[in-house]
Structure 1
Amino acid sequence: MTRVKTAVRPNTPVDLLRAAFVILLAAAALLAAQVQRLPAQAVPGSFADLAQRLSPAVVNITTTTVIATDQGISPMVPEGSPLEDFFRDFLDRQGPQQRERRGSALGSGFVISADGYIVTNNHVIESADEILVEFFDGLGELPAEVVGTDPRTDIALLKVEPNQPLPFVPFGDSDGARVGDWVLAIGNPLGQGFSVSAGIISARNRSLQGAYDDFIQTDAAINRGNSGGPLFNMAGEVIGVNTAILSPNGGSIGIGFAMSSSVVTRVVDQLKEFGETRRGWLGVSIQNVTPDVAEAMGLDSAAGALVTDVPPGPAMDAGILVGDVILNFAGQDVADTRELVRMVGNTDVGSVARVVVFRDGGTQTLRVTLGRREEAEANYQPGGGGAPDLPQVPETVLGMTLSALTPELRAELGLPEDERGVAITEMDETSEAFDKGLRPGDVIAEIGQQPVSTPQDVAARFSDAAEAGRRSVLMLVRRDGQPRFVALTPQG
């Protein structure tokens, strides 16, 4: 038996380089394989399984409203005509001409509990005399009763009485949704019956017109009839309620809006428990802090909510003053007025919140016991206060012709007797004051957070500010009883 000896050579630089190259190629191939798998994981091959699982919990909603019609067509007979009595007798024999017709509307909704609670849009069922809920796949129809509505967020909660447990869907966390995530919309577009459309989240935190708006924007097809239907994430959770579209022609162009579940769940919980919403109320009128206002007040940045009025209520009881800037509410920094309104509205009525305000160049922390917004809104009336009437000679300051509030001027401007301040009677339309929205009839109540009662007070405040080298002066101005702050540049 012959043995063959093999020589073992030590690794040369070329060998090492070749081995390193092979390892690099293997790593690159592995990375490429992982990258190729990512789209397969992110983009579902089909939405069929998800649609099949979720559709039984989505419903069509049909509403009926009784609408009174006009008297109808009456013959035109000249007064004094021989036929006048004939036609009057004929119409009297016909009886009342007013008739009623029944109008109907279509929308969507979804079941959130086995015992028959259903969420939809308020505008779908508003003023309806009868509401019918049609279930998926031939499960029949049931009449529904309105548990409660919230026009501010356009949400309504209905209740049906089923003979057996209903399939339902859970809410998901809309705050965890990201722009670019896949979403699925199911509903009843244009009365065509159950329909599914898919798309992505195009944007978040959209505001259309309400103080409590927090819309998810999506390019999933949403049309009339989809209103009130659910917007699902890929886990089959409801993260939005389809509410509105932006369209020049009434049809979907890929810009739809769904109220986020972070808003809807709180509203639904309150409607289910109380039949109405119960939002926290601070009791202040506020405006955003602009850069010039921030500079005038000595704030480091244009953030927070500037208090323009404090009627009797929780804020007044806690010591909040006109001119305070609310920087923090209940441990959360306040970016602007919209954010503060949402923070307060989401806080329980009767709870105590710590409020940090900026005042006189420093911060103070106050404790406020919140009231209920719904109870306070109807009773809110802004008021004024200040010095007694002191008739003075008109004076022009920074393009504004100013006059003291005499009884005659109050009557001319339609101002209440307790309105205090200095009225703007004429304006230079090329002035900074005009550019910032001031108009004749506005009343300057305060300058530099101090009340003014004469045109000379106003002139003196601006003169003092110019001598002190200040670049802006803050004024509290009222129009039709509504207060706001305006910052103007003093002139030396």
Structure 2
Amino acid sequence: MDNLNKPATVTSGRSPRLRSMMAAFLAGTLVTGGFMFASDKMNLFTLHQGAAAAGTAAAVDVSGSPTAGAGLKNAAVNLGTNGSISGIVDQSKPAVVKIETKVKAQSNPNSQFTDPRFRQFFDDGSAEGSDKLQDGGLGTGFIFEKSGYILTNEHVIDGAEEIWVTVQGYDKPLKATLLGNSYDLDLAVLKIEGDKDFSYLPLGDPNQSKVGDWVVAIGNPYGYDQTVTVGVLSAKERPISIPDTQGTREYKHLLQTDTSINPGNSGGPLLNMNGEVIGINTAVSAQAQGIGFAIPTSTISTVLENLKNNVAIPKEPIPYLGIGLEDVNADWAQDLNLNTKTGAVVTQIDPKSPAFAAGIRTYDVITAINGQSVANAEELSSKVKETAVGDQLTLTTIRSGQQSEIHVTVGNKNAK
């Protein structure tokens, strides 16, 4: 505080107080001017006049139908947002819906996710429906065609006896029909009927979005309808696995975002700054902040017509040898009279597997694949996963102290 009372070392005809006031004024003017310039360039505060009003089409259809032709593309016309978040929100909200389910009394969709690292976005909800059913879960979806087609996550409607959808402009929830769904891809398409065309959102191309780009999420976290959050695209091509009572969902090619998402957001749109959907918000890390995941529309577009028409979706081929492995440790080395402590011991084998057909047997020790040494079971499994179905592999094995090479054709686990 003493410095405030020290005389100025350089004097002028103006008092120190006057000079301080002038300096503060000029600094404030400079900062305010710079902020206003940034806001004008980025349109931070202005609601664009071209934003669609509630009850009208949420975006311009550039192809006659947002899903016609299957391929994704950016809209060829100005959607009216000009990068304004408020414009994107006003345009998109009418097409974002709340999904509530009714289940049988013994059903409990909230109990199916057992992985402590991740949680899917369920929340308790309520909906109109049969008195014989109880409330199931709550999630989000979005309309992607004006006739009432809705995209959401499969886990949002899993086990539901009835599905009810709340849409802006309607006093009561509309009962939805499940057209098609995929457990493996965690996608579902619903259909609702109304007395007018619905607002809808166009599907964009996530390949055109870059890491660091702004993204917007709209959903119903914890029942707070039409909640908007903003963040950036944090990463692409993220794989995660979430086990549940039906198996394990193996997600691939996910978009990672730090946009705030919570239980109830599941199935909602992740939007780019053109107001296009580039992903469906699906999962969030329960042990971290700002780590959420969305299924990209590049995945959705390839199966959308199948889902609309309830046509089975072919499962993606998974490289498969059909063996169970353990690391070579001191005990295995002693039991099998090995001179090495690296490699992987075959402890299980499927008698109908490619490995069995090639001649591999239990207690064989695999030390190399295609001439490259493997340190342990995990490394061997990783190398097999990097191959393609139909590839020819040469496995170096040790059996009863004798080394040999066995040629194996990689099979498809989903074709068993």
| SS of match in other structure, 1:221 | coil
Deviation, structure 1 residue 413 = 7.4
From 273, 277, 293, give the equivalent of 1:234. Answer: 273
Summarize the Cα distance change of 1:163–1:452 in structure 2 as closer, same or farther, 3 Å threshold.
Answer: same
Summarize the Cα distance change of 1:426–1:138 in structure 2 as closer, same or farther, 3 Å threshold.
Answer: closer
Q: Deviations for 1:388-412, whole angstroms, at most 9, x for unmatched residues?
A: xxxxxx7544359999xxxxxx9x9
| Mapping for residues 133-282 of structure 1, pairs under 5 Å | 133-209=165-241, 213-248=252-287, 253-279=289-315, 281=317
The residue number in structure 1 matching 2:376 is 436
Question: Could you list the runs of 4 or more consecutive aligned residues of structure 1 that deviate by over 6 angstroms after TM superposition?
Answer: 33-36, 400-403, 412-415, 450-453, 474-478
The residue number in structure 1 matching 2:363 is 424
The residue number in structure 1 matching 2:94 is 56
Contact residue 338 and residue 401 of structure 2 kept, 8 A? no
Give the letter for the 1:128 counterpart.
Answer: A
Contact residue 401 and residue 425 of structure 1 kept, 8 A? no
Contact residue 99 and residue 165 of structure 2 kept, 8 A? yes
Summarize the Cα distance change of 1:218–1:413 in structure 2 as closer, same or farther, 3 Å threshold.
Answer: closer
Larger Rg: 1
Flag structure 1 segments of 5+ consecutive residues without an equivalent.
Answer: 1-32, 70-99, 286-308, 310-380, 383-393, 404-409, 428-432, 439-447, 462-473, 483-492
Deviation, structure 1 residue 48 = 2.5
The residue number in structure 2 matching 1:398 is 340
Summarize the Cα distance change of 1:38–1:266 in structure 2 as closer, same or farther, 3 Å threshold.
Answer: farther
In 1, the alpha carbon distance for the partners of 2:365 and 2:255 equals: 46
Contact residue 222 and residue 263 of structure 2 kept, 8 A? yes
| Mapping for residues 75-474 of structure 1, pairs under 5 Å | 102-209=134-241, 213-248=252-287, 253-279=289-315, 281=317, 284-285=319-320, 309=321, 396-399=338-341, 416=351, 420-421=359-360, 423-424=362-363, 435-437=375-377, 449=394, 455=400, 457-458=402-403, 461=404
In 1, the alpha carbon distance for the partners of 2:216 and 2:394 equals: 53
Deviation, structure 1 residue 39 = 6.8
TM-score (norm 2): 0.56
Residue 67 of structure 1 pairs with residue 99 of structure 2:
no
In 1, the alpha carbon distance for the partners of 2:279 and 2:218 equals: 11
Deviation, structure 1 residue 421 = 4.0
| SS of match in other structure, 2:259 | coil
In 2, the alpha carbon distance for the partners of 1:203 and 1:451 equals: 38
The residue number in structure 2 matching 1:12 is none
| SS of match in other structure, 2:139 | strand
Contact residue 149 and residue 156 of structure 1 kept, 8 A? yes
Deviation, structure 1 residue 454 = 5.4
Give the letter for the 1:183 counterpart.
Answer: V
**Of the two structures, which has the highest relative contact order with CA contacts closer than 8 Å and spacing of 6 or more?**
2
In 1, the alpha carbon distance for the partners of 2:191 and 2:134 equals: 23
Summarize the Cα distance change of 1:455–1:172 in structure 2 as closer, same or farther, 3 Å threshold.
Answer: same
Summarize the Cα distance change of 1:400–1:134 in structure 2 as closer, same or farther, 3 Å threshold.
Answer: closer
In 2, the alpha carbon distance for the partners of 1:426 and 1:449 equals: 14
Q: Deviations for 1:350-402, whole angstroms, at most 9, x for unmatched residues?
A: xxxxxxxxxxxxxxxxxxxxxxxxxxxxxxx78xxxxxxxxxxx754435999
| SS of match in other structure, 2:298 | helix
* Aligned length, in residue pairs: 277
Q: Deviations for 1:413-437, whole angstroms, at most 9, x for unmatched residues?
A: 788596734653899xxxxx99513
RMSD, aligned CA? 4.3
User: How many percent of aligned residue pairs carry the same amino acid?
Assistant: 30
Contact residue 108 and residue 120 of structure 1 kept, 8 A? yes
Contact residue 395 and residue 406 of structure 2 kept, 8 A? no
Contact residue 113 and residue 169 of structure 1 kept, 8 A? yes
Give the letter for the 1:141 counterpart.
Answer: P
Deviation, structure 1 residue 115 = 1.0
Q: Deviations for 1:240-282, whole angstroms, at most 9, x for unmatched residues?
A: 1111111238xxx32221111111222222212443323565x
Flag structure 2 segments of 5+ consecutive residues without an equivalent.
Answer: 1-32, 47-84, 108-131, 242-248, 324-335, 367-372, 379-392
Give the letter for the 1:271 counterpart.
Answer: L
Contact residue 117 and residue 158 of structure 1 kept, 8 A? yes
Deviation, structure 1 residue 54 = 1.1
In 1, the alpha carbon distance for the partners of 2:221 and 2:91 equals: 20
Contact residue 135 and residue 141 of structure 1 kept, 8 A? yes
Contact residue 342 and residue 375 of structure 2 kept, 8 A? no
Give the letter for the 1:228 counterpart.
Answer: G
Give the letter for the 1:52 counterpart.
Answer: D
| SS of match in other structure, 1:449 | strand
Contact residue 63 and residue 129 of structure 1 kept, 8 A? yes
Contact residue 68 and residue 101 of structure 1 kept, 8 A? no
| SS of match in other structure, 2:308 | helix
Contact residue 121 and residue 155 of structure 1 kept, 8 A? yes
